A and B are shown apart, each in its own frame.
Chain A
Amino acid sequence: MSTLWLVVLVVGAATVALKATGPVLLGGRAIPEAVAGVVELLAPVLLTALVVTQTVGGDNELVLDARLAGVGAGALAIAARAPLPAVVVVAAAATALARLVL
């Protein structure tokens, strides 16, 4: 097998397994009370990590670039209670604009 197909198949299989972790191992049964509080915090914690890494994440460094302007503009739109599609459009436009200017 070529290197390319080896990578494609191994990464595909690993990702299928990772995405199935919760639903296959824990799906369809009640969460034990002791860990319910932990699972409940997974959403805010993971979303925060996604926001941080996608806003300032770089190749082994923190990068402050046009994305920060986009997220800032998006935050203003969120504060103004703009609907989700509007937040996405505002953030993209601000990022593109900042990239032109910077």
Chain B
Amino acid sequence: MASYAPSSSLRYRDAARAAVAVAATVWFFGASFGLVARAAGMGVLAPLVMSATTFAGSAQFAVASILGGSGAALAAIAAAVLLNARYAPISISVAQLFHGPRLRRLAESQLIVDESWALAGRSGRFDRRVLLGAGLLLYVAWVSGTAVGVLAGNALGDPKDLGLDGAFPALFLALLVPQLRTRRAVVAALVSAAIALLLIPITPAGTPIVAASAACLLGLRSGR
């Protein structure tokens, strides 16, 4: 590995520290997914396979709650795919970080998850090492959390009692701030917020984020 300037290694140490804090939060959510999935009758293996392949919290919780209720397969699939549709624009935003054979890009892209993606863009420019490093750490946290949750979840309690559901939006807010360097970015963010607020009450979960991403089309205008 090439030598890096001190500022660069400091930046990575900083990123690693942040990733560990986020991974601890993600681990608890993985555990609570395991618990909820087990309670919904998904057994032990299916939640684990799901965490290892889907690796996206909100969609997995949606599946568990729908299967635990009505049990309609189509409803569960539709809700989960809609919730994860945001990964199309998210993955496009970091497409430039992926090189090499197609299969390798496919494998590496599976480490994209909201938090690893947001952490990687922290300095205002996306960083491949942070994306993949944080992604791997979060993957291990998510899958191991799920394993503990399906086997011994009751002992852990509800992550909501720890306020962890308020920690994620605050994390994304902290990572949004450095992205707002230009006037155009601020305007696009405001348009995105307006679209999301308008659609939350009237569309299924997942739709508001995908629709709000259309605000990026403001980037088509010439000039900055």
Contact = CB atoms under 8 A, between A and B. Distances in A.
A61 B17 contact: no
A46 B86 contact: yes
Contact of A47 (B102, B175, B217): B175
**How many B residues touch the partner, as a band?**
35 or more
Chain B CB within 10 A, most for which of A37, A44, A51, A93? A44
Contact of B185 (A15, A16, A44, A89): A44
Range of interface residues on A (Cβ < 8 Å): 35 or more
Contacts of B90: 19, 22, 42, 46
A84 B59 CA distance: 26
Contacts of A61: 200-201
B50 A49 contact: no
B110 A20 contact: yes
Given A7-B73, A11-B50, A12-B53, A47 B170 contact: no
B215 interface: yes
B170 A75 contact: yes
Given A49-B209, A51-B176, A94-B166, A22 B161 contact: no
Interface of B: 14, 17-18, 20-22, 25, 41-43, 46, 49-50, 53-56, 59, 63, 67, 71, 73, 76-77, 80-81, 84-100, 102, 105-106, 108-110, 112, 114, 118, 121-122, 126, 160-177, 179-180, 184-186, 188-193, 195-197, 200-205, 208-209, 212-213, 215-221
Given A19-B90, A19-B91, A48-B190, 4 more contacts: A28-B105, A47-B189, A51-B172, A61-B200
17 contacts: A7-B73, A11-B59, A15-B59, A16-B106, A18-B88, A19-B87, A20-B109, A20-B110, A28-B98, A43-B93, A45-B215, A46-B86, A46-B90, A54-B165, A70-B170, A95-B166, A99-B160
Q: In the A-B complex, list the 8 residue pairs whose CB atoms are closest, starting with the nearest.
A: A70-B166, A74-B170, A95-B166, A95-B163, A96-B163, A91-B170, A12-B53, A37-B219
